[in-house]
Every structure is written in C-alpha cells, then in structure tokens.
C-alpha cells in the first residue's frame, strides 16, 4: 500500500459529493421543494471542485470576510492557507428571500438540473471597493481586457456563503468519461499503482515536444514513481483548443512515447482564471489534494497576454507562500525547446552557450497557420501523431 502525501488542511480527503446513493436521491428529491437559483459558471466549477475533493478542506462557499482575507493575505479569517476566494456570487437574491437552504442549478447543462444544495449562512453585498481590492490582489491588474478580470467582475456583487452538498459533476462526467476524475479517484488510482512520489503537469493546451520532455525531465530528475498529466476541462477563452481535441492529442502522445504505467492522463472540471501566480498556487493546492508531491511550474504558468512576468508564478512560492503552508513542492522549469546543436529538447537555462538561432521556435500563430493549411509541423517541435490530430481540428474550422 503506497503512502501518499496528505491532503491540504486535513488528514483525510473530504470530498463534498454525496457518495451514498440513497442519501443523494433524497437530497435530489428535497431540492425540488427548495428555492433555487441558477448559479454562474465559475460558482458551478467551484462546486465541482468542492465535490471532487480538489478544494479540501473547504466545506462550501466563502463569506465576504473570508474572501477578502484570502485575497489580501492568502488565508481565511481562521488562518487556513488558501490562494483564491471560492465564491457563489449572484446578481439578485430575491429568489432566495430568507431561505436557510437552497438548490443550486447548473448553468452549463440543458434544463439547469440541480448541481448542489447549499445551507445559507449569509447573503452579503460586496462593495465596489471590495471587488476592486479582490480583483487587484487575485489578478494583479484591474484591466477589463484581462479575461479573468472581466469574468470575475461580470457575475454580480451578492455573495451567498455556506456549506454545500454536491449531487453531480455537471457536464464533465458525461462529456469526458475517460478523462474527468475527482481528486479521490486519482488518489485511489495512484495507490493501486503503488506511487508515492508523483509529479503533476498542468495543461490547458495540447502538449508538444517541449511539454513532453519537461514531464520526462521532472520525472527523471526527481526519481518519481509517476506523472499526472492533469488537464483543465472547463471554460477557456475564445481561440483556445477545445478539451476533446487536447485530450485526444495528449493521450496519443502518452500512448506512443511514454512507458506503460508511468503516466495518468486525467482532467478536472474548472474554468480557467488566467490569474498567473495566484492560480499557480491554487494549482499546487489541489494537486496536493490529488496526492501529488510535486507540481511543474514553468514559464508564464496560468498567465495570459503580458500581464505577468515569465517567472512570477515561481517567485510567488518563495516570496508569498509561507513556509510549511503546503506539503507539495514545486519543480521550477525554464523555457524548453529543441536544440539543433544537441539534437534534443533541453531546458534553455541549462545551456548558456546557445543563441536563439540554435533552437526550433514556432509562435502559436505560426503553428495555427501551418496546421490550418495542412502543413506538417517540424518533428523537433511536435510529434507527428499529435500534429495530425490538431491539423484535423484546424482544417475542420476552415470548412
């Protein structure tokens, strides 16, 4: 029996999904008679993450005091280390009235079925000043052109706090049955495999040669038992590659280029925040909850545009995360690229004698252009099997 790293903030993982089928059916029935609200996509994603144990040891949505404390100090009022507020924010609370228990309906599934039941502890207005402070602290900018800032500020200003019981995992289980996994399912799988030292790789994109080799480097340098490739399956910004295409390309890469039983390909149901450093810390928290001992944090991790410095997401772990707040460790990665000199993918900081001309670089725009035109990507940049899956997708957009 392997001994996995402890979850964050507790000895055992406490997922909020109601495992007992009889109890779950009773709650589904009860939900029919409760006042209900259709929550926003971010709140629904928070429910899915709470349900799966990813947000252990939280028991539900934060009140304004906790959200402000987390934004300003990365800890709740009670002192629990946490990097990003977990909120259920709505525009209008008239549907709730003075109800103490409400049903939360899913905005992302046809018919808006009940996703969770919440005990209402408080309904509070978040002031414009508080919204501005939270936005600045979480995203390090208040620029409305930032997709995370825009989403965070568009959902309303009334926070409904209190514990929840989660009744399903939204669209993720049905749309990604082979890939969506809860934190407790990942822990079970790792225990079966006998893994103890596990390195996690976060992705919202397909994986090219540089990403593949980065996983391999971390695995070898850490002498790890396995790699968790963990992809975001929720809402992204326009222009990002859909989850099913990413999933297919990543699975193909693992199948062809990694040893059997060294990689778990899984996904989680969360909407991307694009919050750079703070999101990197959140990624570390919920990877610890899955049982991983290390998280690869590379250049511009969870960033967007030019809002963050290339290595801000690594610096936050040294500069702002208190000693001992997390058990998971960070594997700090530099930009990786194929070296023409050495005929392999390398981490660029390891080779100061190289110039830009010694590497194979392709911009995202160039990659999309080549794939859309049915042109093969250089094998130094992308595995042909992966490139062909992506090419089929891009060419379908042109039809």
Domain boundaries, the chain: 21-173, 178-398
pTM attached to this predicted model? 0.96
Q: Which two tokens stand for residue 358?
A: 């010694």
Q: Dihedral of CA 272/277/283/289: which sign? A: negative
With beta carbons less than 8 A apart as the criterion, state whether 289 and 183 touch.
Answer: yes
With beta carbons less than 8 A apart as the criterion, state whether 61 and 162 touch.
Answer: yes
Q: Which residues are catalytic?
A: 204-205
Write the pLDDT tens digit of every residue in 201-258: 999 889 999 999 999 999 999 999 999 999 999 987 777 888 899 999 999 999 999 9
Q: Which of 176, 220, 177, 227 is nearest to 199 (CA)?
A: 227
Helix (H, G, I), strand (E, B) or coil at 229: strand
Pick the CATH number of 21-173 from 3.40.50.1100, 2.40.110.10, 3.10.400.10, 3.40.309.10: 3.10.400.10
Write the pLDDT tens digit of every residue in 253-311: 999 999 999 999 999 999 999 999 999 999 999 999 999 999 999 999 999 999 999 99
Q: Which of 285, 43, 25 is nearest to 168 (CA)?
A: 25
With beta carbons less than 8 A apart as the criterion, state whether 169 and 52 touch.
Answer: yes
pLDDT for residue 399: 73
**What radius of gyration do the chain's Cα atoms show?**
21
**Residue 74 to residue 94: CA distance in whole angstroms:** 32
- Evaluate if residue 104 carries a pLDDT over 90: yes
- Evaluate if residue 1 carries a pLDDT over 60: no
CATH of domain 178-398: 3.40.50.620
Write the pLDDT tens digit of every residue in 169-191: 999 999 999 999 999 999 999 99
């Amino acid at each position: 029996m392997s001994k996995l790293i402890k979850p964050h903030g507790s000895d055992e993982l406490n997922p909020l999904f109601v495992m007992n089928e009889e109890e779950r059916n009773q709650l589904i029935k009860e939900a029919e008679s409760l006042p209900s609200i259709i929550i926003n996509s971010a709140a629904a994603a928070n429910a899915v993450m709470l349900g799966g144990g990813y947000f252990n040891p939280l028991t539900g949505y934060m009140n304004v005091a906790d959200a402000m404390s987390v934004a300003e100090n990365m800890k709740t009022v009670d002192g629990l280390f946490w990097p990003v507020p977990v909120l259920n924010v709505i525009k209008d609370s008239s549907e709730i009235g003075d109800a103490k228990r409400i049903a939360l309906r899913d905005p992302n599934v046809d018919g808006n079925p009940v996703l969770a039941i919440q005990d209402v502890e408080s309904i509070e207005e978040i002031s414009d000043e508080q919204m501005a402070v939270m936005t600045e602290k979480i995203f390090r900018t208040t620029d409305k052109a930032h997709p995370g800032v825009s989403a965070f500020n568009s959902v309303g200003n009334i926070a409904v706090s209190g514990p929840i019981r989660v009744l399903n995992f939204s669209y993720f289980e049905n749309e990604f049955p082979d890939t969506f996994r809860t934190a407790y399912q990942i822990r079970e799988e790792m225990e079966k495999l006998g893994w103890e030292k596990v390195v996690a790789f976060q992705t919202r994109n397909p994986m090219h040669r540089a990403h593949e080799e980065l996983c391999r480097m971390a695995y070898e340098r850490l002498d790890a038992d396995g790699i968790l490739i963990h992809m975001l399956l929720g809402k992204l910004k326009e222009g990002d590659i859909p989850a099913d295409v990413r999933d297919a390309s990543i699975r193909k890469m693992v199948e062809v280029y990694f040893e059997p039983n060294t990689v778990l390909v899984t996904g989680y149901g969360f909407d991307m925040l694009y919050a750079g450093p703070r999101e990197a810390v959140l990624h570390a928290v919920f990877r610890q909850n899955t049982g991983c001992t290390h998280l690869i944090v590379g250049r511009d991790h969870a960033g967007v545009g030019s809002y963050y410095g290339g290595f801000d997401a690594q610096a936050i772990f040294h500069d702002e995360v208190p000693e001992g707040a997390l058990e998971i460790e960070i594997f700090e990665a530099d930009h990786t690229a194929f070296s023409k000199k050495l005929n392999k993918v390398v981490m660029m900081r390891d080779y100061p004698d190289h110039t830009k001309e010694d590497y194979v670089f392709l911009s995202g725009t160039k990659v999309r252009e080549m794939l859309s035109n049915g042109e093969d990507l250089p094998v130094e940049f992308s595995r042909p099997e992966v490139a062909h899956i992506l090419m089929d997708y891009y060419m379908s957009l042109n039809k």
